Amino acid sequence: MQLKKSLWHAISRPVSVAPLATFRFIFGVAMFISTLRFLWMGWVYDHYIAPKLHFHYFGFEWIEPAPAWALYAIHGLMLLAALGMALGYRYRLSAVLFFLCFTYTELIDITYYLNHYYFVSLVSFVMIFLPAHYNYSLDARLGKVQAVRYVERWQVGIVRFLLAMVYFYAGVAKINDEWLLHALPLRIWLPAHNDMPLLGPAFNYPLTAYVFSWAGMLYDTLIPFFLLNRRTRPFAYIVVLFFHGVTGYLFQIGMFPLIMSASVLVFFSSEWHERLWQRYLPGWQVATQAFRPASFPRLQYAFWALFVCFQVLFPWRYLLYPGNLFWNEDGFRFSWRVMLIEKAGTATFFVRDRQSGHEWVIDNREFLNTHQEKQMAMQPDLILQFAHYLHDYYEKQGVADPIVRAEVYVTLNGRPSSLYFSPDLDLSRLEDSWAPRRWLYPAPPLQEPPFQGILNIF
């Protein structure tokens, strides 16, 4: 009973709303910039309108792209919703609209999956339910909500949890022999960036890849704990800025470095955030000392406890599957495996008329854009999706129950290109599921011993 009371007090005690308000503002601004960038780069057309087909997430096959005018309208709505979240104006409505619009566009085509897209969907969902507009917002200033100075501790803590989870799981995922003992794939990637100022010349040496691999693992695994500690927090944030600055320069990872660098400010103390608002936007704090406890607290605590448990456990589902995770990709997505592999494939598809026996080679570019073809050729579920599409397409053209097979060669972290599965397999007869992909050949082993990159120096 005493433990229950202590836990209840720990999660429900009042804390300043300022960190939550800062995160709301930062997240909204980042999403506004990101959406504006997406429109400016022409990606609405390139990703959703131009392609002849779209690859679906398992269980979301019913998601299809809206007409072109509607897709542009949806992104315009996302801009307004992101701005509404940042300013705390019609906040609940803005958060709901942003979550629905962003997640819908994310689900249109799985070939554009990124870990930080998944992160944005999770955060925007959580933000719907948080009182991030109870102060330092237009809603509070205009009297649309009763302004408060304090919220319950868990309401700030769950945002910190999501950020810590991304880092920690990204670090745990790097604790594997290829990352730590072979410095792969950094030994492949870094020499291509040897023109970077200051650090560039060092990228030619294998030792640098090992240093970066171990430093990356330690950074991701430990940085949440250093950010949580008041004494180490300022130094940890300097490391955050350096880390994301370097990775953002080296790799094409979009808005992720900016989003994470700004978002981790939520780890700073309530006093720090209050001073921040008082210094830069002094008129935004509505004077009040009120504290509003959460409505239906037991129901809320139960819901968020289940949410947290799911987020903790779901990334570990890969342990239920045999074989090499990076090769089979069973349980790879949605588990915070950030930039862990260098993988590429080539896929040649053949379609055969089952009655006549006539067979011909498919030109993938007739159906797919360059990005879709690249992603499809190395991911088994996308290979199956394309095979089913070809079966249905040619069946409509009058081909009798087409047989669809493929010769797919995949290379992983510098391994020689190897056959992915039997080229005689009729892929149109296979269905994707949660079951292990036993139709794939086993991953070829790495031929070199551990630390060979360093040993070659001597």
Give the whole-angstrom CA distance, residue 171 versus residue 175. Answer: 7
Query: Residue 170's CB: how many other CB atoms inside 10 A?
Result: 23
Q: What is the pTM of this model?
A: 0.93
Q: How far is residue 136 CA from its own chain's centroid?
A: 29
The answer to whether the CB of 311 falls within 8 A of the CB of 169 is no
Q: What average pLDDT does this structure show over 42-54?
A: 96
What is the secondary structure of 114-126 as a DSSP string? -HHHHHHHHHHHH
Give the whole-angstrom CA distance, residue 192 versus residue 184. Answer: 14
pLDDT more than 70, % of the chain: 95
Q: What is the pLDDT of residue 54?
A: 97
DSSP state for residue 291 in the 8-state scheme: B
Q: What average pLDDT does this structure show over 313-333?
A: 95
Which residue's structure tokens are 């991701």? 220
pLDDT more than 90, % of the chain: 80
What is the SS3 assignment for 202?
helix
Q: What is the pLDDT of residue 283?
A: 79
The answer to whether the CB of 173 falls within 8 A of the CB of 335 is yes
Where would I find the H helices in 251-377?
256-263, 270-280, 297-313, 325-328, 370-376
Positive or negative CA dihedral for 261, 104, 158, 312?
A: negative
Kindly list the domain boundaries of the chain, sorted by start residue.
13-319, 342-447
- pLDDT, tens digit, for every residue of 66-122? 999 999 999 999 999 999 999 999 999 999 999 999 999 999 999 999 999 999 999
In the sheet with 343-352, reading across from the earlier edge strand, the strands are 359-361, 343-352, 403-412, 418-419
Q: What is the pLDDT of residue 456?
A: 65
The answer to whether the CB of 209 falls within 8 A of the CB of 183 is yes
Q: Can you read off the two tokens belonging to residue 247?
A: 């990775």
